[in-house]
Each structure stands twice: as C-alpha cells, then as structure tokens.
Amino acid sequence: MTEKPVFSIIVPVYNEASCLHELYRRMVEVMDRTGKPWELVLVNDGSVDESPQIIRELAKADPRVRPVMFARNFGHQIAVTAGLDYSRGDAVVIIDADLQDPPEVILDLIEKWREGYEVVYAVRAEREGESFFKKFTASLFYRLIARITDVDIPMDAGDFRLMDRKVVNVLNSMREHHRFLRGMSAWVGFRQTGVLYRRAPRFAGETKYPLRKMLRLALTAITGFSYFPLQLATYLGFIAAGLAILAIPVVIILRSIQAQAFFGQATTLIAVLFFGGVQLICLGILGEYIGRIYDEAKNRPLYIVSESPEDFEKKLQLQKEEKTNGNY
C-alpha cells in the first residue's frame, strides 16, 4: 500500500498505446519535482489496441500507477469521471494521454493551487498541429456557449485543469449521465483562475475526437447548461404563426384583384413544407431534452469497471504469494 498521494493525475486512455510510455516517462519526471507523493490514475476506456497491457505493465513496475479498466467504451467524459471517483489526492489534475497538453504545465497549475485557487484551468494560447477548421469551430463553440448560458465557461480552455479535493467531491456528487465536465467545474464556483500554455501537436496516433464526437459534446454542453434551444423553438413557433397571420390579408387582397400569384398547388405545398419543417425542428429539440430526462430516469451506473486498482493490487499480491510458495 503506497502512502496517500497529495496529487492525483487522471488520464483517460482510448487506443493510446503509442503514447503511454512517453506519457509515463514525462509524468514521472515532472511529478517527482514536486517532492510530494502522487499517483497516476490511468482509465482504460475500452481500448482495443495494446493500451490495457501497457497500463498493467506500468502499474506492475510502479505502484503509483493505478489502473481502472472499463468493461467497454463509455466515452471520454465518463472515463474522466471514473478517474475522479478513484482519485485520492488533495489536488486532482485531468490531462489527456496524447501529450498535446504538456505535463510540464502541471507545475504551473500546482503553483496557482498553492496560492489558494481551487480550480486552475489551462488556457490554450496557441494550438499547434490543428487545422483551421478545428480552431474555427472550437472558437465558435466557446463563444456560442458564452452567449446562451449563464455559466461562465472559460474560453479556449479544455478539460486540462487542476481541481482541489473539495471541488472533486462536489463533482463526484453530480451523477448526471450526459456530462460536460469543463462546464460542471465552472458551475460549482469556488476560486478559479487560468494559466496560459502552448498546446503541442499529438505525440503519436490520431485524434479520438472527430467532428461527430465534437458535435455530440457541443450538444451535451448546450442542453446541459442552457434552455436556449427550447426558447428557440418558441421563437420559431411565433415567427411561423406571425407569417401565417400576415399572409391571410395578403392572400385575400390578391385574390380579390384576381392576381395569379397565389393560385395553384405549388404555393400550398411550400407553405405546408415550411410549417411542417418548423414543427419537426421543435419536436427534435424537445426530443433531445426528453431523451436526456429518460436517461436520467433509468438510473443506470455511469460506467462498469472490470478491474479496479484494488483488484489489480490483490492480483499482484496473489501472484507474489504463489511465487513465494513455489520457491519455498
């Protein structure tokens, strides 16, 4: 049993076999400079490459590495949530495995934490190795969120951050299924500040956040922290109804003067398609919110762990005892 850590580093892992050894090397180099006990919580999010084997090898060689193995892929935000659940440190750092967020920046986060800040988020001053489209959409997303929510979510800040244990305890009590952790950590309050850093290109491999997943995360963020889409449905309804009311006297006048503009099926078809489209959009918005309510009502666990750090430690202990008995 290792001593209680002061710092916990949470790393969600999904098919990052090419990055894990370098991540571990740099993490040891950085965290040993703190002079305090620390732990590295590696959450395997259903990887299908060699990541699980590498995580077990690292944990076997270094007891500060704590493996959490999911029974299947549950997604990045849920993997981070599991890391928060299993972390034991007074300060908890969330960082991705691809090394785009340099581990060396953790020392700057710790310095701000020691000054008394309870949430220290890393702000991307530069984003190397990312396409113009990704930078543009990310910038657009942060600015949209800032306009339609009441939560002050820092712009250009991802999940890379340090949180005090009291903040982690609050987040652990929030068991919603559709999670946007950077929004949740902003919502809880406490003293917060940012640290600028230069985001590096991926060390190896390819992004695990394609456009489809980015859009899904954006939808989760919007529906989780804003009623604006529901209000938008109301606005669309009023606009459609207003157009219909305005069209009535126009059609009466045109027909009375025998104008040909509104004769025939084409006009009727266009009007039906327009109002039908507005109705379907409104139903879709309602469906998104109702679907999230349904997920919460089912009350299923956020994730399923096939092997916890305690399970791994017991397995190692049994192997040592078998080896000792065999040698005896």
Encode pLDDT of 161-209 as tens digits.
Answer: 999 999 999 999 988 888 888 888 888 888 999 888 888 766 665 665 6
**Phi-psi label, residue 203: left if phi above 0, alpha if psi -120 to 50, beta otherwise:** alpha
- In a domain, residue 220? The reply is no
* Integer Cα distance of 9 and 2 in angstroms: 15
Assess whether 14 and 126 both reside in one domain: yes
CB atoms within 10 A of CB 142: 17
Assess whether 237 and 169 both reside in one domain: no
Encode pLDDT of 287-307 as tens digits.
Answer: 888 888 887 888 888 889 988
Read off the pTM. Answer: 0.75
- In a domain, residue 256? The reply is yes
Domain count of the fold of the chain: 2
CA distances from 211 to 126, 216, 300 (A): 20, 9, 27
Assess whether 293 and 307 both reside in one domain: no
Q: How confident is the model at residue 66 (pLDDT cuts 50, 70, 90)?
A: very high
Assess whether 82 and 165 both reside in one domain: yes
* Structural domain of 59: 7-209+301-326
Assess whether 243 and 97 both reside in one domain: no
Assess whether 293 and 314 both reside in one domain: no
Q: Which of 22-26, 107-111, 159-163, 198-202 has the lowest mean pLDDT?
A: 198-202
Count of alpha carbons within 13 angstroms of residue 250, beta-carbon side: 10
Assess whether 258 and 160 both reside in one domain: no
Assess whether 88 and 146 both reside in one domain: yes
DSSP H or E stretch at residue 164: strand 157-164
Assess whether 153 and 264 both reside in one domain: no
Assess whether 79 and 119 both reside in one domain: yes
pLDDT value of residue 84: 94
